[in-house]
Structure 1
Amino acid sequence: MSPRRSVADTLETRQRILDHSLAIASAEGLEGLTIGRLATELEMSKAGLLGHFGTKEALQLAVVDQAAAVFLREVPGKVEQMPSGLPRLRAVCEAWVSYLERNVLPGGCFFTAATTEFDGRSGRVRDALAGMNALWRRDLRIHIRRAVSDDDLPRSTDVEQLIFELLGIMLALNHFLQLEHDNAAPARARQALKRLLTN
């Protein structure tokens, strides 16, 4: 086997582990990831699986990164061509609703589940989740401020309050989709967003 093929195989195996781990973690939490379970389900040895990450914490951190990559692809990545400001904000919120509505991950919003699991803890995983959430709020803040400066939202808009309410809508949407299996929830979320994002 050539060195290039060996590297490609290693990367492919690592990606397969991450994809499977993310599916489990979205539904059962990051603590649901055990080396034994993953090795059994992926038909690998424990040593072979650990060789890709080293520790369970390293695996959890890699899964957080993988979840972020999926979210970036499915939400902001879908609307990159939209004009900045309110058009981009509305489009990104629609992509966010669609992401949850389509069950891209089997357990709904990974970050909602993982944040609930780790918000009362300390450590690198909790810090990584907090960092990802902070980056997302920063992006929303940029879009909102641009919408205000373009006069597409009122000058009196409380940016932090609007971010709080947007996040609240998405948390409620995830709750009603995952716990209640309420097919009307996306329409309710869109109605709430329309009310918030109209000048």
Structure 2
Amino acid sequence: GSREELQIAVIREYHARFEEEVFFPAVREQRGLPRLRALFERWVRRVSIEVDSGCIYISGAVEFDDRPGPVRDALASMVRAWQSALERAIRLSIEAGHLRPDTDSLQMLFEVHGLILALHHDARFLRLPGAVDRARKGFDRIVSYYLQAEPERAAAVQPARAAR
């Protein structure tokens, strides 16, 4: 096969492993904030494990952002699928009453995704200690901004570190 086919096969394999390690275990959590927290925590763990090799979603986006073609399309499709799953978890958190009804799910997704990009940059490129803790703290701040007023949120309030 061609180099392009090999790159797409690698991206597909990465996506399958990402789903196995991050997505599938997290969706077993209770709908709403517990699931959203689990998705974020597992994503953080995945990025922290990939410090030496890098996250294909992130490094691939940098490499292929201005190179149209099947590799970019495959990569973008998988990133969109992951973002769609995260946005759904945010919407389910709103529906469950854990997050305010006026929460802009796309804005919250943007903010959470930004934390992962910053984590990857600081941990992998700059090799800064404490990047994982800062990402978790940032997630807790984002969630606290969107939290529903008491008593609906009482059961949902747990720091990101507690998510499984």
The question of 1:124 aligning with 2:70 is answered yes
Equivalence for 2:119:
173
Q: Is the 8 A contact 1:88 1:143 kept in 2?
A: yes
Listed as ranges, the matches of 1:99-178 within 5 Å are 99-103=46-50, 106-178=52-124
Equivalence for 1:188:
134
> SS state of the match for residue 39, structure 2?
helix
The question of 1:74 aligning with 2:21 is answered yes
CA distance in 1, matches of 2:122, 2:70: 30
Q: Is the 8 A contact 1:177 1:185 kept in 2?
A: yes
Equivalence for 1:94:
41
Q: Is the 8 A contact 1:100 1:108 kept in 2?
A: yes
Task: Tell me the alpha carbon deviations over residues 100-147 of structure 1, each in whole angstroms, 9 at most, x when there is no partner.
Answer: 1223x7322111000110011111001101101111111011111111
> SS state of the match for residue 117, structure 2?
helix
TM-score (norm. length: structure 1) = 0.70
Q: Is the 8 A contact 1:90 1:197 kept in 2?
A: no
Tell me by how many angstroms 1:87 deviates: 0.8
CA distance in 2, matches of 1:120, 1:193: 30
Tell me by how many angstroms 1:69 deviates: 1.3
Q: Residue type of the partner of 1:145?
A: R
Output the aligned Cα RMSD: 1.2
Superposition misfits of 4+ residues, deviation over 4 angstroms: none
Q: Is the 8 A contact 2:94 2:103 kept in 1?
A: yes
Structure 2 unaligned spans of 5+:
148-164
TM-score (norm. length: structure 2) = 0.84
Equivalence for 1:34:
none
- Structure with more helix by fraction: 1
